[in-house]
Structure 1
Amino acid sequence: MTATCAATDCSPWMRCPGCQGPVFGEHHRRNLRVCPGCGHHDRLGARERLEQLFDPGSPSTLAAAPTLVDPLEFTDTRPYLARLEQTRRGTGLEEAVVCASASVDGHPVVAAVMDFAFMGGSLGCAVGERITAAAEHALENRIPLLIVAASGGARMQEGALALMQMAKTAQALADLDDAGLLTVSLVTDPTYGGVAASYATLADVIVAEAGAHMGFAGPRVIAGTLGQTLPEGFQTAETLLAGGLVDGVRRRAELRPALAHLLSAAAWARDGRTVPAAWGEAAPHLVRDPRELPEQDAWQTVALARDPGRPTTLDYACYLLEDFQELHGDRMSGDCPAIVGGIGRLGGVPVMLVGHQKGHDTRELVARGFGMGSPAGFRKAARLMRLAAKLGLPIVTLVDTPGACAGVEAEVGGQAHAIAENLRLMARLPVPVVAVVTGEGGSGGALALAVADRVLALGNAVYSVISPEGCAAILWRDAAAAPRAAAALRIGARDLLGQGVLDAVVPEPDGGAHRDPALTARLVGQALTATLHELSRQAPAELVSARRRRFRRFGISA
């Protein structure tokens, strides 16, 4: 329900539909119709969305092709044409979506903005045609597409022709995928039915506005037809985030800057920009000769690699990246906290960062699953890497895990399949990929993020087929033999560099990375910029070919 002043006295005060508390109307309007008390987000119409999200004066409405108006000559308690005409008079809109070319912070975008006030934002022939035409306009002009979804579902009065719009719009978004153009979906309250099951959820990035609800079948349908009791938070934005179905939940004031960051990243490769020449001039001290590294006690190195004070992936994101925007979820089953990722700017260049996330204390370690990725985590990583490939963004992965999660749920969820898919995907990514082993590199859970053009490691990092404890338990049948196993496995940076598993080693501050995280991050950043400058000069086909040769040679006698 939209909050308005009382019709009798037009009081400047209104009542919030969320908390029922009094709100000064002008303040409510200036606050983008968000209650300052409870945070309730009142519904906005298409015109209000255009005003809120885009640069002033930039929206230019796109022309709409004529479509069938009443293909079934449908009548329920009233003729469909009469309902349609009444809605047009009441809203001042021709249809339930307004499509326009616009800009956000100067970045061009094609927008399809739905309005729930127009017959519940239902998807019929006219809406489907407008969405499709907007996607075609984006394709023709090589610019991103933004969809602002608000709908109850397909328009019943247009029958099977309304149903066909789901496939029609899905095809249009597939064309944008093939062309490497960014698509973003902003899910607002409510988004259901055929819209949720087509273009609203097919975008590269899905952002849900705070207070939004989304699903295929609405709560009343489920409760009424199946008699099921709905759980707390059912189909809310927060539940969708926890379920891995959206990339993030944003308050209304946060939407415009979030869109600007995404559009800016997408514009980088599209505009033909490359990494700065200065990246090649900076010469960080990267050790490439194993003889330059000291011999270390293997078990002591393991302890240093596992020290909880070492920087995590999110720490590196804070130290190294500007405008980092974390993206969430595998779009299937969940949002694994042990693997994180998102887009940020490294020295002005947008990159996709993906890495394991441990923690600095017991509470965080437990919450993050000790950095042991689940199937959802590896699928999330794959989704983000595919997005980077689509947009032409370099990929940086940070490896720090004891191994992949080995629990029952992970096995049921297809842990082996998820890891294998990542290995295949990374082998063919057409963009530069740099992996850095920052702590532990444990087994397939590490390799799933490390099929890269260049594999670097910090001086006290370790990388192994199995943990020393696991090796000791299996081969020595004695967990106390872990130090002997660590030495036998040769898991330190010196041995790994000699084997060619690593391309270079980044020396750590005296005493280890945990002694000076900021300096460690600076050293890693210098290594990344130098390495990405080198790789940026290679064509996509050359990158893929060289990466495959790198891994093809392992295990072959010289």
Structure 2
Amino acid sequence: MVETDQAISPAVAREPVADWVRCARCSELVYGKRFVRSLRVCPDCGGHGRLTARQRLDQLLDPGSETPLEPAPTPYDPLDFVDSRPYRERLADARAATGMDDAALAVRGRVEGHPVVVAAMDFRFLGGSLGCAVGALVARAAEESLRTRVPLLIVTASGGARMQEGPLALMQMAKTAQALAELDEAGILVVSLVTDPTYGGVAASFATLADVILIEPGARMGFAGPRVIEQTIGERLPEGFQTAEFLLAHGMVDAVVPRGQLRRTAAHFLGVARAGRAAADGAPRPEDAADPRPADPPDGPAAARATPPPAGDAWETVRFARHPARPSALDYAGRLLEDFHEIHGDRLAADCPAIVGGFGLLDGQPVMLIGHQKGGDDIDERRRRHFGMATPAGFRKAARLMRLAAKLRVPVVTLVDTPGANPGPDAERGGQAVAIAENLRLMSALPVPIVSVVTGEGGSGGALALAVADHVLILERGVYSVISPEGCAAILWKDPAAAPTAAAALRLGPAELSALGVVDTIVPEPPDGAHTGPGEAAALLRTALRSVLAELRHLPPDRLIRERRNRYRAFGTAPGYGGVPAHAHEGASS
């Protein structure tokens, strides 16, 4: 049975179709009306049949919401090109066969009530090739998105740049990339829906420059087609090369989404963008913002306002923090947030499974949640997740998601639970130190609120790479340290058995961290630990997050950045030195 969460629009229901359709993937015959009802997805093998641009618009947009956009005029046959036939004849035949002027349509419309501008490509028209007319239409759609300040959705299906228009076709890659750059600068969301096939100049321009890249199951995308690659290298490519599933595993796309779920998934991201912009548009300006907090709290810094529990036994706290059944980032995402959608990949080489993240709603307000994922009780899953130890791809993925949150003006919440960064040779070859350093720099200047929560084990730079924040919370049985107690014992005591002694000396428990000002708020857990009551633990964390975000949401970006930088500048600096306010050290112990 084909999974679909959307009703069939009247336009789709009226589509003409043969009595029987043969699936291009499995060759089985499918009853024509059933094929239409399943959105042209084979009910036997799940193969996604190709759609026309018109069919795409009918399936994605709310009925009656569409208004067409007209592109700028473009040359008809700029090179007077002739191969086995004149280009003008090929154009005339394609127009007659498709009823389209060229290989794309652009419209304004709505998806589940959310306004959007859509440019949809049609592979039937000369292989969906990118020529002057398509480039002009995509640029026109981007201009309309910029003018109206609503998101842009691009549906791609193309064999590449149009050879018959020569260097002018090549220039369309730069034209469309420039148009999307303007949307970046304006903070307007761009979503790409990649369909089969998407190759060449389209893949190397607007298809992969989007903030969020969705792809249908089995769809193929790449710069060079498989035949060209095989002819060049003289080898057969592996099964599934360049398919949606391959691209997801290699960090190039955010999600593989079956056709029946596309409307809802697109609506999720459009809704996040809409809510983020509405919140930002309603925020006070820096010069007249009413700050919900006093500039200089009379009772000292945030850490002094925390209520730490008794210190207890440090080694026992470490054991609790490492308990394999403690709720994971995805556990918290499912319990804290509504409509959470995980986003994947660093867009360079990989999708690190030790870092997860995506948008969701906390009490109806969008947040970007990013966290370490250890894998729970299942040892095989823990190995697959690298025990929560992120690779460079994981830190790059986190950075990409934080930049996206900043673009859409959405707060970032990070959940820290890791022994440390991945120590393997592949991680070193991939630039582990650089990836961590880049995150520290990025978070110090991110213009949206950042709230970090140490939910379990906060180990070294691998933890700090997600924890440079305006406000740091720690669960009652969490720990946060420069090194593991075992590592410290082995180096300084020359005896790993001295780990309990090292744990106490490192001051890594919540009470000590609060006294040092490293954490601001200690979040209570169920009496026997978060792992004994995940629902209760999530509810307690939600209460704390709600309070902190309420304080931070309305602060102007310049104040957020200034106070965040002052916070970290103060650590380890004498009061009053170098412009660090004296109150920054009140309540701290040596």
TM category (shorter chain) comes to over 0.9
1:313 to 304, 307, 329: 329
How well do the aligned residues superpose, as a CA RMSD in angstroms?
1.4
Change (3 A) 1:11 1:444: closer
Show the counterpart of 2:110. 103
Runs (5+) with no aligned partner, structure 1: 1-9, 281-285
Q: What is the Cα deviation at residue 301 of structure 1?
A: 0.4
Show the counterpart of 1:353. 369
Amino acid at match of 1:403: G
Show the counterpart of 1:323. 339
Show the counterpart of 1:140. 147
1:364 to 340, 362, 381: 381
Show the counterpart of 2:312. 296
Show the counterpart of 1:539. 556
Q: What is the Cα deviation at residue 225 of structure 1?
A: 3.1
2:265 to 238, 258, 281: 258
Amino acid at match of 1:554: F
Distance 2:574 2:146 in 1: 50
Show the counterpart of 1:7. none
Show the counterpart of 1:122. 129
1:186 to 161, 175, 193: 193
Amino acid at match of 1:428: A
Query: Could you list the per-position Cα deviations for residues 289-308 of structure 1 after superposition, in whole angstroms to 9, with x for gaps in the alignment?
Result: 57741121111000000011
Show the counterpart of 1:215. 222
Amino acid at match of 2:365: V
Show the counterpart of 1:283. none
Q: Helix, strand or coil for the counterpart of 1:514?
A: helix
Q: Helix, strand or coil for the counterpart of 2:85?
A: coil
Tell me, yes or no, if structure 1 residue 499 matches structure 2 residue 516: yes
Distance 1:516 1:238 in 2: 36
2:231 to 221, 224, 234: 224
Distance 1:460 1:288 in 2: 19
Amino acid at match of 2:235: Q
Show the counterpart of 2:465. 448
Amino acid at match of 2:370: V
Distance 1:287 1:311 in 2: 25
Distance 2:190 2:567 in 1: 34
Query: Could you list the per-position Cα deviations for residues 175-223 of structure 1 after superposition, in whole angstroms to 9, with x for gaps in the alignment?
Result: 0000000000000000000000000000000001112000000011111
Show the counterpart of 1:333. 349
Amino acid at match of 1:492: G
Q: What is the Cα deviation at residue 288 of structure 1?
A: 5.0
Show the counterpart of 1:6. none
Show the counterpart of 1:3. none
Tell me, yes or no, if structure 1 residue 91 matches structure 2 residue 107: no
Distance 1:291 1:126 in 2: 64
Amino acid at match of 1:372: M
Q: What is the Cα deviation at residue 481 of structure 1?
A: 1.0
Q: Helix, strand or coil for the counterpart of 1:337?
A: coil
Distance 1:538 1:507 in 2: 27
Any residues of structure 2 matched to 1:235-254 within 5 Å, and which? 235-254=242-261
Query: Could you list the per-position Cα deviations for residues 41-72 of structure 1 after superposition, in whole angstroms to 9, with x for gaps in the alignment?
Result: 00000000000011011121101211011111
Normalised TM-score (structure 2): 0.90
CA contact (8 A) 1:289 1:498 kept: no
CA contact (8 A) 1:287 1:507 kept: no
Amino acid at match of 1:296: G
Show the counterpart of 2:287. none
Tell me, yes or no, if structure 1 residue 467 matches structure 2 residue 484: yes
Q: What is the Cα deviation at residue 271 of structure 1?
A: 2.1
Tell me, yes or no, if structure 1 residue 50 matches structure 2 residue 57: yes
CA contact (8 A) 1:397 1:435 kept: yes
Tell me, yes or no, if structure 1 residue 530 matches structure 2 residue 547: yes
% identical equivalent positions = 63
Q: What is the Cα deviation at residue 159 of structure 1?
A: 0.4
Change (3 A) 1:343 1:290: closer
Amino acid at match of 1:310: R
CA contact (8 A) 2:346 2:393 kept: yes
Q: What is the Cα deviation at residue 478 of structure 1?
A: 1.2
Amino acid at match of 1:514: H
Show the counterpart of 1:72. 79
Tell me, yes or no, if structure 1 residue 35 matches structure 2 residue 52: no
Change (3 A) 1:11 1:232: closer
Show the counterpart of 1:386. 403
Show the counterpart of 1:174. 181
Change (3 A) 1:28 1:504: same
2:415 to 398, 401, 420: 398
Runs (5+) with no aligned partner, structure 2: 1-16, 284-291, 293-301, 576-590
Tell me, yes or no, if structure 1 residue 164 matches structure 2 residue 176: no
Amino acid at match of 1:353: L
Query: Could you list the per-position Cα deviations for residues 316-362 of structure 1 after superposition, in whole angstroms to 9, with x for gaps in the alignment?
Result: 01101111000000000100000000000001001000000012221
CA contact (8 A) 1:288 1:504 kept: no
Q: What is the Cα deviation at residue 400 of structure 1?
A: 0.3
Distance 2:127 2:66 in 1: 23
Amino acid at match of 2:475: L
